[in-house]
Amino acid sequence: MSRLADHLWLIPAFPLLAAAVSAVMTRRRRAMAAGMGIGSMALALVLSGAAFVVAMRHADGSGGGRVVFNFPWLQFGDAWLKLGWVLDPLTAVMLVMVSLVGLLIFIYSVGYMAHDENFTRFFCFLSLFAAAMLGLVIANSLLLFFICWELVGLTSYLLIGFWYHKPSAAAAAKKAFITTRIGDLAFLLGMVWLYSQSGTLLFYDGGAGCLEPSSLLTLATRPTATGLMVSTGIALLLFCGAIGKSGQVPLHVWLPDAMEGPTPVSALIHAATMVAAGVFLVARVYPLFSASTGAAPDGTASLAAVTWVGSLTAVFAATIAVAQTDIKRILAYSTVSQLGFMMMGLGMGGVAVGMFHLITHAFFKALLFLGAGSVIHGCREEQDIRYMGGLGKFMPVTFATYGIGMLALSGFPLVFSGFWSKDGILHAAHSWNASHWPFYLGVFGACLTAFYMTRQVAYVFFGARRADGAARLASVPEAESHPGLPSPRQAREGSTHEPHESPRVMTAPLVVLSFFAVALGFIGTPAWPWFQAFLSGEHANLALNRLAEEGALPVLAVSTAVVFLGLGLGWWLYGRRPVTRALERDVLERLWPNVFTLLRRKYFVDEIYEWAVVGFNAWWANACAWLDRWLWDGLVQLVSLTVVGLSWLDRFLDEVVINSGFDKACQGLTGGGGLLARLQSGRVQTYLRLMGVGLTVLALLLLWGCRAS
């Protein structure tokens, strides 16, 4: 069965093939593009399932079974740069998650994008994304990881800007690309540093990989100039990449704007899979983060950094989500917040805690996004929750599944998966000795999560249809509606402006996802920690008494209490007296207008970046332009003018002084020569005549001289 591990590349290869073929297909081949995308994802899912079984068989008993396949790729002098893939529990879990969620979202997209003229292009990008993400998951080399990491970044850019004729979408795509690039630069530096220190980028290579004990020991004992260990430095640089990709503070700004893309993209890329890649990166190179020489009871400095960034992000984004009005943006800030929870889990509880939340979150957040997509679809591209209301009776399936997703995200006790995974994180935070603040922040974040989700659901599904919302819906002219989704559907529903339930191709994935949103919780409860055991390669056994172990029950009770507090508060504020008019002020806004404005404007982070980063950039560019225009250009002008002047002088000297001098000399020579030539006539008699004259003159002179003396 290790043959499968050797051919693990087949899993990303199928979607890649589908992407390549649909890239060259014409626009009209809609069914073929969708069929190939879905077929390749189904194949990938089957293979991932098989890989999962293989990994499970390896993991049982042998203790963290891991099959790697490496091959040389590029030669540097004597050294070969190697790529490879690895099959271990971590990979297997991610493979199944990515391909399953991906498959469901592909199917959903068939309905959601049905009227888009660039349907084929959409599936091409989506397949390319799936290929890159699956490649990232199986990578056994940091280089291959980085390649796929950049590829998912590229597809994210392409898909956010899918409706590129909307200026906001184009700007959001650029923002996402550039912001994540900042993190990726650090990632690249970390990678180069790692290569220079350990000489390999393979994670596992039969004892020689950079995540294996011998290499880790070297890295953890080598100090840098600043006193940090090399392993810490590299881990922090890699974590910067994760911050960018996973939307952690301070690079979170791109993720909410990324909601300009089509909703399936938001679900697949910006909620379930790609943004989790940063978390997955930390989980993958976890040995590097946790490497230390001495016994460090509360983890290393790099893990502490992960914890703090994660917990701050969790609360920061959750507070912003409270005040947003765009249905997708609320979910986006919720994603940022939950990614922060995952980072907390990784930092304090290890791989299993963080990964468990990643997996459960992927399912229920995909569910929520797809549900939001269904709502948006049913309300004809209305995204503002203030104009919705009362949708529960129009879209029952969406309402039911959305409710499940919302309860899972809020962490409703005992039944929903989000409860167990979040409880794991809180439990880890509670037993973290370095500081109690992450625990408090986590509890506060969990409470806020329940609160803003209740607010959203109350706004969208409960109460009555807000009249001005219906009026706004009716007044949307045909031409002004969504540019990417032209008229056929509007023609179909044009007569009634009632919201409608989405087609079955969109609701079926919702149902499947909501099943997982519930069921997944049970594989990782404290009583039966199968998931955690699988990741660490141990046996899991059912032991209910573990629920009652030291500190477990109080934490369970606290997390239950905060969830109920959040839910109750939300219901008390928004559900009890439904909002009747769309533009009336929010309840919280009436209570604390200043705080609410601060939250609604997202703590003015965008404005601060605009002022500081963009402003500095503009100032610097202006300064450079000024220097260029006046200083360098002046110097160049000066030099060129000097050269021109010198050449004028040179020309004058040449033409007037030297040339005329030569001319004069030559004329003199010519004249003299002509005179002499005339003298030398060759006639002997002339010579004689001259001699005669000379003789006569001589004689006269002599005579005269004689007479004078």
CA distance 316 to 54: 41
State whether residue 81 is helix, strand or coil: strand
CA distance 234 to 216: 11
Question: Contacts with other proteins in 26-55 (CB under 8 A)?
Answer: none
| Stretch of residues binding other proteins (CB under 8 A), selected from 91-99, 166-174, 391-399, 678-686 | 678-686
Which position among 645, 674, 692, 694 is part of the footprint of other proteins (CB under 8 A)?
Answer: 692
| Stretch of residues binding other proteins (CB under 8 A), selected from 412-420, 421-429, 643-651, 685-693 | 685-693
List, as one string, the DSSP characters of 417-447.
HHHHHHHHHHHHHHT-SS-SHHHHHHHHHHH
Minimum CB distance to other proteins smaller for 496 or for 685: 685
Minimum distance, C-beta of residue 699 to other proteins, in the bound complex (Å): 12
Which of 528, 549, 579 shows the shortest CA–CA distance to 384? Answer: 579
| Identity at 516, one-letter amino acid code | F
Contact map string, positions 632 to 671, toward other proteins, x by CB under 8 A: ----------------------------------------
CA distances to 95, 112, 598 from 388, rounded to whole Å, are 37, 19, 24
Are 235 and 288 spatial neighbours (Cβ–Cβ below 8 Å)? yes
Which helix H or strand E contains 70, and what residues bound it? strand 67-76
Q: Show the 3-state SS of 186-198.
A: HHHHHHHHHHHHH
Minimum CB distance to other proteins smaller for 214 or for 686: 686
| Stretch of residues binding other proteins (CB under 8 A), selected from 124-132, 186-194, 657-665, 687-695 | 687-695
Minimum distance, C-beta of residue 688 to other proteins, in the bound complex (Å): 6
Minimum distance, C-beta of residue 689 to other proteins, in the bound complex (Å): 5
| Identity at 448, one-letter amino acid code | L
Minimum CB distance to other proteins smaller for 293 or for 681: 681
Which position among 645, 689, 700, 701 is part of the footprint of other proteins (CB under 8 A)?
Answer: 689
CA distances to 164, 261, 656, 679 from 156, rounded to whole Å, are 13, 9, 72, 100
Which position among 487, 637, 667, 680 is part of the footprint of other proteins (CB under 8 A)?
Answer: 680
Are 401 and 514 spatial neighbours (Cβ–Cβ below 8 Å)? yes
State whether residue 67 is helix, strand or coil: strand
Identify any residues that bridge with 69 across adjacent strands, giving them in sequence order: 85
CA distance 114 to 486: 10
Alpha carbon distance, N-terminus to C-terminus of the chain: 143
Minimum distance, C-beta of residue 697 to other proteins, in the bound complex (Å): 15
Structure token pair of residue 440: 């408090």
Minimum distance, C-beta of residue 660 to other proteins, in the bound complex (Å): 32
Structure token pair of residue 329: 């943006």
Could you say which DSSP state residue 393 is in?
A: G
CA distance 200 to 208: 8
Which position among 685, 707, 708, 709 is part of the footprint of other proteins (CB under 8 A)?
Answer: 685
Minimum CB distance to other proteins smaller for 199 or for 692: 692
Determine the longest span between alpha carbons in the chain, in angstroms: 162
Which position among 77, 294, 477, 682 is part of the footprint of other proteins (CB under 8 A)?
Answer: 682
* Residue 676 interacting with other proteins (CB under 8 A): no
| Stretch of residues binding other proteins (CB under 8 A), selected from 46-54, 450-458, 647-655, 683-691 | 683-691
Minimum CB distance to other proteins smaller for 62 or for 681: 681
Minimum CB distance to other proteins smaller for 487 or for 681: 681
Which position among 196, 681, 699, 703 is part of the footprint of other proteins (CB under 8 A)?
Answer: 681
Minimum distance, C-beta of residue 687 to other proteins, in the bound complex (Å): 8
Minimum CB distance to other proteins smaller for 295 or for 677: 677
Minimum CB distance to other proteins smaller for 24 or for 684: 684
Which position among 684, 705, 706, 708 is part of the footprint of other proteins (CB under 8 A)?
Answer: 684
70: left (phi over 0), alpha (psi -120 to 50) or beta: beta
CA distance 450 to 265: 25
Which position among 553, 621, 625, 688 is part of the footprint of other proteins (CB under 8 A)?
Answer: 688
| Stretch of residues binding other proteins (CB under 8 A), selected from 219-227, 660-668, 679-687, 698-706 | 679-687
Q: Are strands 67-76 and 79-87 parallel, antiparallel or unpaired?
A: antiparallel
Minimum distance, C-beta of residue 677 to other proteins, in the bound complex (Å): 8
Kindly determine how many residues on this chain lie close enough to bind other proteins according to the rule CB under 8 A.
10
Contact map string, positions 527 to 566, toward other proteins, x by CB under 8 A: ----------------------------------------
Which position among 683, 705, 707, 709 is part of the footprint of other proteins (CB under 8 A)?
Answer: 683
- CB within 8 A of 173, min separation 6: which ones? 157, 158, 160, 161, 164, 260, 261
CA distance 112 to 132: 23
Identify any residues that bridge with 595 across adjacent strands, giving them in sequence order: none
Minimum distance, C-beta of residue 692 to other proteins, in the bound complex (Å): 6
Are 232 and 118 spatial neighbours (Cβ–Cβ below 8 Å)? no
Q: Which residues bind other proteins (CB under 8 A)?
A: 677, 680-685, 688-689, 692
